[in-house]
Amino acid sequence: MKLVAFCLFALCCWSLDNMSANANNQYLQRRKLQEVLRRLNTVKASLQDSKQSVNTPPQDIEDCCCLSALQCFRENLHVEFNVSTTNHFYRSLKHNLTEGGLDFCNSRNSTCQACQSHPKENAKEFFNRLQSLIQKVNGFCFISPTEAKGKVPVALHILI
């Protein structure tokens, strides 16, 4: 009987620790996305007046294509706007917490458009859509991918 009680206690402790680690990771992702938004405002102010037209992912990106869209934005920043890979903003976009925050897809079977197939938009629209993507994801940071459609927060899901 004591062995069964000990095993149940160990299982509960492991479960709580696992939930704590997941909550901590979500907190770090949210903080990183907020940092990206702050840095974006600085870069946006200096580059949005550019006359360049660049391939820009659409405003209404499917959840499974958020990471692909981020990679497209990042590639265009580097190639079209000459943003260095050592730039703080570029590194923030490439950070694994940022990518983890945008990776909503459980299956890799999603068919996302290639970056070159997106229509060309002016620099101002490019930065507005990047900002919109980060804000959208930042709002869903504490919602699991399967619950995002129903918008039920993870904390409520755990209580149910």
CA–CA dist 68, 98 (Å, integer): 12
Amino acid occupying residue 124: K
CA–CA dist 8, 5 (Å, integer): 5
Residue 109 or residue 19, greater confidence:
109
Identify the CA nearest to 50 among candidates 94, 95, 80: 80
- 30-73 pLDDT, tens digit per residue, is 898 999 999 999 888 888 788 889 999 999 888 789 999 999 99
Average pLDDT over residues 17-22: 51
The pLDDT of residue 17 is above 70: no
Percent of the chain with pLDDT over 70: 70
What residue has token string 């490019």?
126
Give the helix/strand (H/E) hosting 15. helix 2-47
Q: Please give the pLDDT value at position 146.
A: 41
Which of the four pLDDT bands, split at 50, 70 and 90, describes residue 130?
A: very high
In a 3-state reduction of DSSP, which class is residue 121? strand
Average pLDDT over residues 13-39: 74
Identify the CA nearest to 118 among candidates 71, 48, 64, 49: 71
Gyration radius of the chain's alpha carbons: 19
Residue 140 or residue 91, greater confidence:
91
State the pairing for strand pair 120-122/53-55. antiparallel
Phi, psi of 36 (to 5 degrees): -60, -45
The pLDDT of residue 150 is above 50: no
CA–CA dist 147, 107 (Å, integer): 15
